[in-house]
Structure formats: structure tokens, C-alpha cells
Structure 1
């Protein structure tokens, strides 16, 4: 078995194959993921944190896009992310956020682009995935459950369960 070290413009990975056979695993580092979370229980976002911390070791930036939230430097430091390689931009609209995300993903300047967006169409997700592949970047779309729906889920769950 041999290891082949291959370098892409912004990332490196290893393909392992046996002599004379095709590679068993091909690692694709570019993709866009949608993460739906409950704003009253932000634990889901902490599942993303180790991945973002690992990406912060790359020489590239991390970009956070939001039309509603302002990036807090104290919060970034408390998460263990490097303040000096983190950029937060406020977008005017959903369309503007999508456009900014697509350009940032494609640029190759970022290891990850994180954006708060509502549900997006399959066509937009496909465009973002293509941009992420071109820029060798990860994209994360954070979508909060509507407060009413979140409230109903919690009430339903706790009303039918008895905790002792």
C-alpha cells in the first residue's frame, strides 16, 4: 500500500491506494451544509465548533455573513476561533447574503463561509456547492427554527414526557 500526497491550491489531502488499483477513498473537501438549529437551545451550533477550530489552522480566513446579527469579537474568542482570521459582514438582504456567500466561496480566500439564511432552493444550493468546489472551501448555512415552531416542539416534547 502506498500513500500519495496531493496538494490543491488551498488544501492538501492524502489518497491511499494499493499498487495497480484505483484509490479506495477520495476525500472531497468542498461542500455546503445546511444546519437547522433551535435558537433557544444553541447546542447544535457547538457541534460545528470543532470543525471550525480545525479549519482555523489554515492560513485562510473564516467569513461570517448575517443580515440580522453582528459578529461579537468576545464571542469569537470564547469559541476558540482566531479573531485575527475571522471576518464578520452584515448583509442587507437574503439575496445579498447569498450573492456574498457565493463570491466568497469561489474566491479561494476562505477556509469556511458561514451564513445565516432561511431555507434555500435546490438551485441556489447547487450554485453554492459549485462555488465551494471552485474555491476549495466549506460553506455552512445556519437556519434557525421559527420561534413558534420551536416553542411547539418543546411544549409537545415535555408535555408527553414525565421527568423523574
Structure 2
């Protein structure tokens, strides 16, 4: 499956298939980061934790998978049920007052992809900051907003 919005490689190509000294074609979006926005309803069947395996598929560069959300701890059995027992996953507690600063700090490190359960309204300015930082760091960000 090709996921151009998430910056995955074209079908049939992978970084692991490269021979030493030989370049293969990789789409420009695979080298840059991206911002994808998802709206979920409170009682909906798809919840933010279900998106972590999708983000893991973007992980050709073996980055950490960060999950920023308020009071939603993970456990080992849940990660195993999602097929993520061997993926480096970190959950950070998120609050409305510091969420943009925390996102910026994680993206500045440039060593992870992340899911963010955004609290409150997301302004166009905040969206632009996250998009630019994701692009510059090569990180894929899935930003989730909950709606009733």
C-alpha cells in the first residue's frame, strides 16, 4: 500500500533493499516529515491508540514512536496486541497549556514520529508551526482532535 500523505516509499522499494554504493529512487516526501489531522468522536470505534501501528509503518528510519495524550497510559499487553512489542514507544502526558511547547521540543529532537491528542482548539498558527517543524525534522505527526 502506498501512503504518500505519510511519506512512505513507493511500492516495491525499500531502504533495506539498497546495495552499498547504489542509490534507489525514494520519493521526496519520504525524506520530509508530514502532518496528518484526524477527527475522532468520543464514542467512536476508532480511537487514537489504534493509529500507533499505522505510524509504525512509517518507521523506516527506526525512530521512536511518541504518543502525547492526557491521562491515557499504555501497558505492555496492549502494545503486544497491536503488534508493537518490539517498537520503541513512549507515552507523554499532555496538557492544554504546554502542548505546543512539548510538541515543538519533541520535533526539534528529530528522532521520533508522534501521535498528538490535541486538547482544545487548534489555531492556524499552531497548525503551521507543527507542520513546519515536522517537515524540517523528518517526523510524521498524526494530530487527533476529539469532537462530541
What's the TM-score, normalizing by structure 2? 0.69
2:68 to 61, 65, 70: 65
1:44-69 CA deviation, whole Å, 9 max, x = no partner? 65874553231345321000111232
SS of equivalent residue, structure 2 residue 122: coil
Cα distance change on mapping 1:131 and 1:80 into 2, 3 Å: same
Which structure has more helix as a fraction of its residues? 1
1:2-41 CA deviation, whole Å, 9 max, x = no partner? xxx9xxxxxx9835xxxxxxxxx74354111221012322
Gaps spanning 5+ residues in structure 2: where?
A: 1-14, 16-22
1:40 to 35, 39, 43: 43
* Structure 1 partner of 2:80: 77
SS of equivalent residue, structure 1 residue 75: helix
- Alignment RMSD (CA, Å): 2.9
1:140 matched to 2:142? The reply is yes
- Structure 2: distance between partners of 1:45 and 1:69: 10
Deviation at 1:95, TM superposition (A): 2.8
SS of equivalent residue, structure 1 residue 80: coil
Runs of 4+ in structure 1 deviating by more than 3 angstroms, as ranges, are 44-50
Report if aligned partners of 2:52, 2:115 keep a CA contact under 8 Å in 1.
no
Deviation at 1:105, TM superposition (A): 1.6
Computing the radius of gyration from Cα coordinates, the structure with the larger value is 1
Paired residue total: 126
1:51 matched to 2:54? The reply is yes
SS of equivalent residue, structure 1 residue 63: strand
Gaps spanning 5+ residues in structure 1: where?
A: 6-11, 16-24, 147-164
